[in-house]
Structure 1
């Protein structure tokens, strides 16, 4: 089986690659990258390449690093494929931000193709109920903050993608390496990722002032650590 790489019509540089292999009659697919706009099209093309006698499908999701609402369409397509072909379809090893998105929308992270089942609630008014209510309120506050962070991340994606493209062209590196450089420079210089990306893009176009020395040093260090 072959890998499929997808680039959206707007030529954003975030890609989704799906590696595949057969284990007896089961297909094992490993997506790498981001579940964003166009990911369902990539999955559809991959599913079309599966042998007709495929008896099951396992998706190893541990290498998916980012997911927005397009990831839900990805899951819907998986579920439809399993129902249409009457074969078991499983996803496993969700981690990081994609796992949190599944939790936010109420999906079971162990089996997101099924709705998460609510846990059995304690009797109203009991000490256990009060503790559960407090815990749920704290969890809700955390989820609200993560939703705010996700919205900010979605807004900043275009400039981050442009900066990744600049680094890829300048240093002949991969998209993952460019992403590492941006994040590392952000950490080293204590500068927001969006600001780092905007600075890299502006400098490449000759539109902005020279980056602060601290940020230039952070970028050089990150590049040396990743590509040196």
Structure 2
């Protein structure tokens, strides 16, 4: 998919220092966005993403902060608006995944996931709702496992189901603002978050589960984000399952 470059629009990508977030940031820059790359702890990786974007003539900056900390995110949003002139699109890819059966999950891991995936999404969405310009877009991240109900994913899926509910409600709350709110729900995608702890047989089984018989690539997910961030103005309050046809 190609979109018409828009050099006047600004995107903030949380979790933009690696994985899907980094590829999303680079893709939006290709579409003409000035991009703010948010990171929590790895400034060096965020700066690498910025350097990649600026090396090809784009505008970008790195901005730090914990997505679940409202003061840190308020500061981050203010920094982006001051440096780049405003914010039009917020893509919230920041998230963590810890897998375990319900009976043996350490509840501290449940709390960690819920803090980042639920509270973090809520804080970022709250700041976006307060600051985005007309014609903007908020794009959250869920997971296709919300529908496939795989064992060991219960706590992670619970956090992402909350993200979906939040997305659908916020889309209605922003009535009259010309701001779309959607979520992307990737299927199995070849990122460190997905591959960590899985053996070759497990990875191959996930790849064969889709009719396309391969894992998704971060670039596949970035295409969906670019669509929602750019031309897809009539798609609102939806969850887009980007999973290669996974049931």
TM-score (norm 1): 0.30
TM-score (norm 2): 0.28
Q: Higher relative contact order at CA 8 Å, sep ≥6: structure 1 or structure 2? A: 2
Structure possessing the higher radius of gyration over alpha carbons: 1
More helix by share: 1
